[in-house]
Amino acid sequence: MSVARVTEIIASSSKGFDEAVQSGIDRANKTLEQVKGAWIQDQQVKVENGKIVEYRVTMKVTFVLKD
């Protein structure tokens, strides 16, 4: 039997939402073991002078706890 935990991560990118998601997953993998999935809770953009300068995602990352 496995027990999983969910943690919230906010990640950003200057290029797009896909890169922001990948950045968050990459960072989670540095700290957490056995990352199994994620779902995107929210997406936002930061705008300056009428231009999008940053893409942000809030995601829930699921990982399996060690026995």
Run means of pLDDT, 10 residues per run, the chain, 67 residues: 93 98 97 95 98 98 92
Is the whole-model pTM more than 0.75? yes
pLDDT at res. 36: 95
Helix or strand run (H / E) with residue 62 = strand 51-64
Distance between CA atoms of 30 and 25, rounded to whole angstroms? 9
pLDDT at res. 24: 97
Helix (H/G/I), strand (E/B), else coil: 40: strand
